[in-house]
Structure 1
């Protein structure tokens, strides 16, 4: 098994087999709305990863009928899909020995300012999801909105009361604070008791650019001590059909060399 090689990919044959070629430690399966119609294939992929001794994670679908998911959406179809797909993936986690990354939302929510009242509303919605605190669902931050660490109420009003298991996306946090490494490290310190998993991605801190490590402005020497000993992947934006994951592999080499 290749030390430090931790990858993300789809469940299609081309992507999945490419990731296996690198003999990784961890693979995160990025799922789509369409993939939820073939949960047996999702299970098969997880079983193959576990058979090879590879840590298996999933990423909850990001969209429903072309629109980004939002746990607070009142649109009936999205409301139902968010909860039904979460329940189905949680059951797969329990039965197949995997974990699943999930977003409360992806972009800023219209009519939901980052105030205390809205944050409490978000907390109540998350707390109503069966298994939200099981440790099998890992809640990921966004670059803006209520579930972004630039929301001053997120940690104290949502994460701490719920004891919420987290996936911290380092680049999302960095972007949320417009490229401030000091504030990024403050969040990494405060969330350490709840963080179970990390997405390691570089950024210039201005937009969702998903750069290879070393290509942006994140101070990885300061980040690494918070991440060591926990699970993570390199979630780098890929070109073309997203099959070639060499930028993720190269980021793993970069990360391994920090401090060596």
Structure 2
């Protein structure tokens, strides 16, 4: 079993970047919001990526913005009813793919979120139709992004891990996957056996992990070892060629302490 790599997350804010860089992470994942997709913001994001690269960080992932206006960036939001949201998702994904291709890094897009999923599902005649719309859009983004784009699971029924039949469909699309352990754990209602089964089933398709603990009931983003995930069972089944970060809620965004604590927890477990 290989030792876990140190992967940290932060914004393009220089204080956050320098806080993370002092620990020499193998992977840095950028959190973004709508401000990163203005002309000025995009240039600053581009410069921030180059700065992190210049400091010897091998792997860089940019997380697609989670929200636009009052809504999450939900892929199934229909264009005819939510034209601005739809268009923002399109243009921001195009920008991320271009940046990722130019600088040889990765971008991450959520297949779905959970907060307004039911609201958006109701714009369709069935869950199946909504899911089909999601897959159609992901197929297009996959073609656009090639080896620079990956898709992350949610706890919504539209794009989640933990249900073997849906996982089979996801595998059939040959997506490059980001696996958030807490989202899967919540989706399977805190069942460690189902989490491990999902990690194993999707393993060949996984290129990136969000390592996060959870009680398995709601979105809680806990440091590793403080929730109910069985990390001693998770560690041996991780895809060793994939990158990973600790996506933990921080008390202070300029101090990645909780992410580091999670790494130390995993390192002790591995040894």
| TM-score normalised over the length of structure 1 | 0.92
In structure 2, the CA distance between the partners of 1:99 and 1:231, relative to structure 1 (3 Å rule), is same
1:105-144 → structure 2 map (5 Å cutoff): 105-107=112-114, 108-110=117-119, 112=121, 115-129=127-141, 131=143, 134-144=146-156
Unmatched tracts of structure 2, length 5 or more: none
Deviation at residue 19 of structure 1 after TM alignment: 1.1
CA distance in 2, matches of 1:206, 1:132: 35
Q: Counterpart of 1:198 in 2: which secondary structure?
A: strand
CA distance in 2, matches of 1:130, 1:225: 29
- Pair 1:68 & 2:58 matched: no
1:162-177 → structure 2 map (5 Å cutoff): 162-177=173-188
Deviation at residue 66 of structure 1 after TM alignment: 3.1
Q: Counterpart of 1:192 in 2: which secondary structure?
A: helix
Unmatched tracts of structure 1, length 5 or more: none
Match of 2:103 among 73, 96, 101: 96
Partner of 2:232: 221
Match of 2:250 among 224, 238, 248: 238
Partner of 1:198: 209
In structure 2, the CA distance between the partners of 1:155 and 1:133, relative to structure 1 (3 Å rule), is farther
CA distance in 1, matches of 2:44, 2:112: 26
CA distance in 2, matches of 1:45, 1:131: 26
- Length, aligned pairs only: 256
Partner of 2:37: 36
Deviation at residue 115 of structure 1 after TM alignment: 4.9
Greater helix percent: which structure? 2
After alignment, is 85-94 or 11-20 more displaced?
11-20
CA distance in 2, matches of 1:130, 1:258: 36
RMSD: 1.9
| CA contact 2:61–2:107 (8 Å) conserved in 1 | yes
| TM-score normalised over the length of structure 2 | 0.88
Partner of 2:259: 248
Runs of 4+ deviating beyond 6 Å: none
Partner of 1:11: 12
| CA contact 1:115–1:151 (8 Å) conserved in 2 | no
